[in-house]
Amino acid sequence: MTDVDMRMPRTQPLLSRREIFALIREDLARVEREIRTDSISSVDAITAIGQYLHGSGGKRLRPALLLLSARACGYQGDLAVRLGAVVELIHTATLVHDDVIDSADTRRGRPSTNSRWGNQVSVLAGDWLYMQAFTLSLRLRDFHILDLLTNLTQMMVEGELLQLDYIGHMNLTEDDYFELVNRKTACLFSVCARLGSVVAEASSEIEARLGDYGWNLGMAFQLVDDILDFTSSATKLGKPVGNDLGEGKVTLPVILALESAIPEERVLVETVLRERGYRSVPLQAVLALLEKRNGIERARRQALAFAEKARQHIAELPESPYKGALHSITELVVERES
């Protein structure tokens, strides 16, 4: 399959990833220290898992989004750092639960927690991370923040259940897929951006705009994830290419390709889903189907559209390097290779 061009038309100078993160380097370092401290438990297994997950790194995009949104609203203070750690703990908890549900062997190129500690311990560790995030949030005594985080967690748990229900089903619609992405990914991005405005005590209008920005950014992020699952490499992904379909997950590139697929082509996908892998049907046959039926290209266009909507929602924010960073992140998200 040919490489997909994920670039967006550039209408203004954009910051590089290094330049974006340089704007909040000190605050992100403080977030890292808080995560390390907050992952310590009186139970050795939980501490070991927490430190293991912390050591695996990650993009830290979610706390960065919160910090940049706060700065774009004129805020500089400790509260954004604390909440940055909270949202990363919530995100980490969902990853632990996802790996258990998916029976995943690796995460970011390393053995997953469930493959090292087993499902039972991993589920309880994920629960502990959720509770730790809420313990930290309760100390803030802010009902609006708690409402946002409570609703977020409910949405994400519902997303996990919805994903379980969808496993192995190839007749999912775009609406089904977008509802899942909303609950699994976009809602967290949205809350991160909204929390940035909340700590800055910005207006409800600004909070709504940043929330919409984050939601569209999250949708674009997940679409690109699902595209890269077919177009990137195992080294960059930290997991096998085509892994999602092999686990029974039907994502947007497949949904769009199946819309015009003939019966013989649909059988290829049905077989992979039934066998939970590429035993009878080689991965290359699925990639050829996606290319022939334009599943990747059509999904790419939708990712670009979500990124453009995200930029539109912050257009009225006051000009600042932080607004520029939020704008630039939309391109980084769709141009990334992993």
203-213: pLDDT as tens digits: 999 999 999 99
72-127: pLDDT as tens digits: 999 988 999 999 999 999 999 998 888 888 778 887 778 888 988 999 999 998 89
What is the pLDDT at residue 78? 93
**Domain at 17-335: CATH code:** 1.10.600.10
* C-alpha 84, offset from chain centre: 15
- What is the DSSP code (8-state) at residue 4? P
Do the Cβ atoms of 41 and 50 come closer than 8 Å? yes
Where residue 12 falls among pLDDT bands split at 50, 70, 90?
Answer: low
For residue 314, give the 3-state DSSP assignment.
coil
Checking if the pLDDT of 9 tops 90, the result is no
Residue 28 to residue 39: CA distance in whole angstroms: 16
138-194: pLDDT as tens digits: 999 999 999 999 999 999 999 999 999 999 999 999 999 999 999 999 999 999 999
Question: Angle of helix 187-199 relative to helix 61-72, nearest 10 degrees?
Answer: 40
What is the pLDDT at residue 10? 46
Checking if the pLDDT of 2 tops 90, the result is no
* Domain chopping of the chain, boundaries: 17-335
265-277: b (≥16 Cβ within 10 Å) or e: beebbebbbeeeb
244-293: pLDDT as tens digits: 999 999 999 999 999 999 999 999 999 999 999 999 999 999 999 999 99
pTM: 0.92
What is the pLDDT at residue 192? 98
What is the pLDDT at residue 240? 87
